[in-house]
Structure 1
Amino acid sequence: MKLGLNLPSHGVDTSATVAEHARHAEDAGFESVWVGDHLIPAGRPFLDATLVLAAVAAVTERVKLGFGVMVLPLRETAWAAKQIASLQHLSGGRVLLGVGSGGPVHGDAAFRAVGVPFAERGRRTDEALEVLAGLVEGRRMRLDGADVTLSPGAAMPPVLIGAGPERRVARFADEWYPAFSTPAEVSAGVGRLASLAVEHGRPVPQVTVGLSFGLGDVPAGEVDAQVKGLTEYGMSEDAARASLLTGPPERAAERLAELADAGVHRVVGMPFPSDRRRQAELLAEAARRAAV
């Protein structure tokens, strides 16, 4: 199993810089680092995901750079493709492109700010995915009635698609990214996607799962804060609490093994924020114990 790590979601951390967190993750053996994508988030600052990943690319050599996830309809498709291709060149082809349409947690204020009706975000996501690979690769594509060719082209990175219609995953995704899902939910989803993939003549997507985790001795108040944060993404409190990965590394190793048995090939960990570097080390230890 591959192991990824979320960088500080707001891009700023008084304990270390983004570059330091990324280098620490690379040294700890993580396969990838990930950043979220918000234009106008509620209640906290948020740096631009593309610029954060470009900064990480400059100070790392091996670790892959994941959008977790890029809210595609907030951007003009050609500009999104230009950013992705540029980041591929700057990083030596290390991008992992998580894509989403943006849910209620993003609020419609962000969509109003860029002149996109909130209700049209799903349709715009599908339309962008129709042409995105061609634009990134530098092929001539038809966009809004005009031929567009971006240069320099780059290899299209793997596409991971999170929440949203499963038909979108089956049609466009290399990987399914059902954040905060249990092993049972993953198994059921893979079964549904297998049928849909056949309909589209495509391979069954691989699976990447996100986990919010706080290993070791974590105060109850910090656990409650993480639960509250997950409920903002539409989860019930019970589901959010059950999805958290807590306890000793031995228990975390058991959960990772269960996810691997369910068909997950990558876990992206979102550490509790009080001691992110120590949490990263504990998750890496759990993965070694699980031998996945």
Structure 2
Amino acid sequence: MTVEIGVILPTSSPDPAQTILGDVRASARYAEEVGLDSVWSTDHLVASAPMLDSSVVLATAAAVTERITVGYNVLLLALRPVAWAAKQISTLQLLSNNRLVLGVGTGNPAHGDVGWRAAGVEFADRGRLTDEALAVLPDLIAGKPTTLGTDLDVTIAPGSPVPPIFVAGNGVRAHRRAAAYADGWATIAMTPSEVRTNLERINELADGKQLKATVVAPQLDGDPLEQLAAYEAAGVERVILPPTGDWHDDYDQAAALKVG
């Protein structure tokens, strides 16, 4: 089995009543020590529960590790000027020695629109702004001259190797976005059969690319190793296990799956 197994750093919680804020340095180091493939940070400006800044979290995790992948799950590009986002991504890629994976999404509506309004962004425009950002982001990260707006040429220096990019979302627009701009697609809690069906639709749109899937909070009921094998057969390259409240126990359980 070659499915990569990742875990979420203790920097946020989907449940306001159960805040998960832990030691990022200790958790990242431990994930690497027990042989996990990746650690991930969620992203939002104002969420329904406490949430740390994703770029700072990943920079911290990268600084105390050597091998493990660090990833955005997922970066809300539309909350930021794309040139600033590119600068942070490029810097993090360089400082981590090219260990970054960039997940991109448009945000969970459950968090509301306060964060978007605080950033000066219309909630309804987030999909369009994400598409526009993804269209220029790789060149900006790579340090290539890039035209932004009308007659504005921007070059980010130093540039870096463009990290793998996946796009999250289950709607038609998200599928098209992944097919057009990404190396992969991500979803939450889909079964292997649902992943296969959706991935086939995306790859039909992808102009010859064959995208792989990342599944957050996979359904590992029954025999988890059999389930992981079923996900792999459906085109999944990576699963990201959800937090339960105790990151140490979560990472131990994830490592047990890794060992098989």
TM over 0.5: yes
Q: State yes or no: 1:4 paired with 2:6.
A: yes
Q: For 1:263, which of 220, 235, 242 is the aligned residue?
A: 235
Q: State yes or no: 1:284 paired with 2:252.
A: no
The CA deviation at 1:194 is: 2.0
Q: State yes or no: 1:58 paired with 2:63.
A: yes
Q: Structure 1: which amino acid aligns with 2:192? A: P
Corresponding residue of 1:127: 132
Q: Structure 1: which amino acid aligns with 2:118? A: A
Q: Structure 2: which amino acid aligns with 1:268? A: I
The CA deviation at 1:13 is: 5.3
Distance 1:268 1:13 in 2: 17
Q: Structure 2: which amino acid aligns with 1:39? A: L
Corresponding residue of 1:221: none
RMSD: 1.7
Query: 1:14-163 alignment to 2 at 5 Å?
Result: 16-42=22-48, 44-145=49-150, 146-163=152-169
Distance 1:173 1:106 in 2: 25
Q: Structure 1: which amino acid aligns with 2:26? A: E
Say if 2:36 and 2:254, in contact at 8 Å, map to a contact too: no
The CA deviation at 1:254 is: 2.3
Distance 1:64 1:58 in 2: 12
Distance 1:13 1:173 in 2: 30
The CA deviation at 1:287 is: 3.2
Q: How many residues align?
A: 249
The CA deviation at 1:61 is: 0.2
Corresponding residue of 2:214: 208
Q: Structure 1: which amino acid aligns with 2:205? A: L
Say if 1:271 and 1:280, in contact at 8 Å, map to a contact too: no
Query: 1:167-186 alignment to 2 at 5 Å?
Result: 167-186=176-195
Say if 1:19 and 1:59, in contact at 8 Å, map to a contact too: yes
Distance 1:51 1:185 in 2: 34
Q: Whose helix proportion is higher, 1 or 2? A: 1
Secondary structure in 2 aligned to 1:271?
coil
Secondary structure in 1 aligned to 2:104?
strand
Secondary structure in 1 aligned to 2:187?
coil
Q: Which one has more relative contact order, counting CA pairs under 8 Å at least 6 apart?
A: 2
Q: What is the CA deviation profile of residues 78-136 of structure 1, one whole-angstrom value per residue up to 9, with x for unaligned ones?
A: 00000000101111111100001123123111111111111110000000001000001
Q: What is the CA deviation profile of residues 163-201 of structure 1, one whole-angstrom value per residue up to 9, with x for unaligned ones?
A: 14211111111011112211111010121112111xxx3
Q: Structure 2: which amino acid aligns with 1:68? A: N
The CA deviation at 1:263 is: 1.6
Secondary structure in 2 aligned to 1:177?
strand
Distance 2:32 2:147 in 1: 39
| TM score, norm. by length of structure 2 | 0.91
